[in-house]
Structure 1
Amino acid sequence: MSDTKRRDAEDEEAGETKGLKKHHFTPLELQKKQLDKLLEKIDKPVLIPERSNQTRAPKEPRDYVKNVQGSSAGAGSGEFHVYRAMRRREYARLKNMELESKEEREQREHEEKIKAMRAADEEKTEKNRNKRQRRKQRARNNSLSKKKDSSRSSEGNEDEESEGEHSQDDRKDNKRSKRESDDEDK
């Protein structure tokens, strides 16, 4: 059997006839067809447009009204549609104005919130900085007092016993003052 006859037989088995063209595609078939077309030329770059996030603002209201309704008792059959279109445009315009004011208000609130957070952070940072400075100053004062005590003890002619008593008293005073300053920091 030749190749063409074999292909025709396979197509008939699959339920497809070669001469019949299908015009009404399902969404799945359309998508498959588009993908197959794209994959035929795989080296060609594909342009995918980006979707804009902004909605189109409705047109500005006109200065003049074309469709002025008369004062006759009966209105024509088309007047309702004209009225409905005008009403829809007006509602769209009002909705757009409300959205803009809402976005502006939210933006202001967001900026105020960020300002408040930054101020709180700065305040906390300043407080911690002062606390560190006090600790450093206290450490310097303690080291200076220790140096003075050691220089006094080496210079003085006092008894060793009295020096021991003074140094113990100084240590107790230093510990007590340190505890008090820690309590003040808290």
Structure 2
Amino acid sequence: YHNPTELVFGKGQIARLSKLIPADRRIMITFGGGSVKRNGVYDQVVRALEGRDFVEFWGIEPNPSVETLRKAVALGKERGVDFLLAVGGGSVIDGTKLVAAGLLYDGDPWELVLKGQASQTVPLATVLTMSATGSEMNNGAVISRYETKEKYAFYGNYPVFSILDPETLFSLP
């Protein structure tokens, strides 16, 4: 058994983001519906990345849909993103795994889901805000297609690192 994801555990570890992400990277931060703004995680992430080049993508829903993720891929390609940071729970992380593959793929990201895997992805990392699926330390994801009511497993690359700050995991929604 081998898990290549570096687990960065402890109080205040979000502040290390700028040191953990290589300085020359153009970052896209992915989020869900906004709970990170209410619980203070968003402010911690933005403060940690002050002075860095990043763009935000909001709206990855539970059971992430390829319809939403296509928009994230398009934004990432437009902005030349070469590092992804998923801030949220398993669904945000799952969706970001497909975005990481889609940024290096010329076709529709759904084609990658149908293949079941992608070996080439841009690097991604996570800030976990809800523990449940283990997505922060595996290479699996589940992606939905609302148009056709399909849902499939997808395998990308493991996160480079995952921050698990117990203060952001005190409660469940």
Same-fold status (TM-score > 0.5): no
> Which structure has the higher relative contact order (CA within 8 Å, separation 6+)?
2
Please state which band the TM-score falls in when normalised by the shorter chain. under 0.3
Structure having the higher helix fraction is 1
Give TM-score scaled by structure 2 length.
0.16
- Structure of higher CA gyration radius: 1
